[in-house]
Amino acid sequence: MTYMMCLFMFGLVVGLIVVASNPSPYFGALGLVVVSGMGCGMLVGHGAPFLSLVLFLIYLGGMLVVFAYSAALAAEPYPESLGSRPVVLNVGFYSIVVLLGASLFWGGWYEGGWMTGDELVEFSVFRGDMAGVALMYCPGGWMLVVSAWVLLLTLFVVLELSRGLSRGALRAV
């Protein structure tokens, strides 16, 4: 289990470096999908499979649709790929920053934190995942409504910006 969690963390950091270093939205989408998958894998490893599934489906269903519209707006004939010189320089810089940050906090990392929330209590009635889902809908229901409203508003803004011809706001630029 420790090896899987280390693999998920390594994939998460590599995906974040790819997203941060790539100026092209096409390859940035690949990094975002990797980051989302690895983050959801870490949630599964910590005992939240349902929350991981919900987050992954919401991410793929909502955020990639908005990303597709913004990628269509910024269509480049020759995008910067992952092997081009400026992107490799950015990857090297961000990797050095991550390694320096990891060396700063290296002494405080222990393997005691790999246990899931369900393993800590002997006779628990609820799983940590199901109690979290209940809390998400009960006192956090208004936050779900606000989040859905913000995503809908973001979709309309992106659609308005990338409408095309002379009607879009950024087409005149």
Q: Which of 93-97, 103-107, 145-149 has the highest mean pLDDT?
A: 93-97
pLDDT of residue 10 exceeding 70, the answer is yes
The confidence score (pLDDT) of residue 94 equals 92
Q: Which residues contact 76 (CB under 8 A, 6 or more apart)?
A: 24
Sign of CA dihedral 89, 92, 95, 101: negative
Distance CA 116, CA 138 (A): 24
Instruction: Give per-residue pLDDT as tens, 82-102.
Output: 788 888 899 899 999 999 988
* Across 11-20, 91-100, 137-146, least confident range: 137-146
The confidence score (pLDDT) of residue 69 equals 67
Quick check: 98 and 17 in contact, CB under 8 A?
yes
- Measured CA to CA in angstroms, residue 26 lies from 32, 135, 151, 153 at distances of 10, 36, 21, 23
* Across 10-14, 29-33, 70-74, least confident range: 70-74
Q: Which amino acid is at 110?
A: Y
Quick check: 132 and 51 in contact, CB under 8 A?
yes
The confidence score (pLDDT) of residue 139 equals 77
The confidence score (pLDDT) of residue 52 equals 83
Tokens coding 28 = 């940035």
Distance CA 127, CA 135 (A): 12
Tokens coding 49 = 């499979």
Residue 108 DSSP label? G
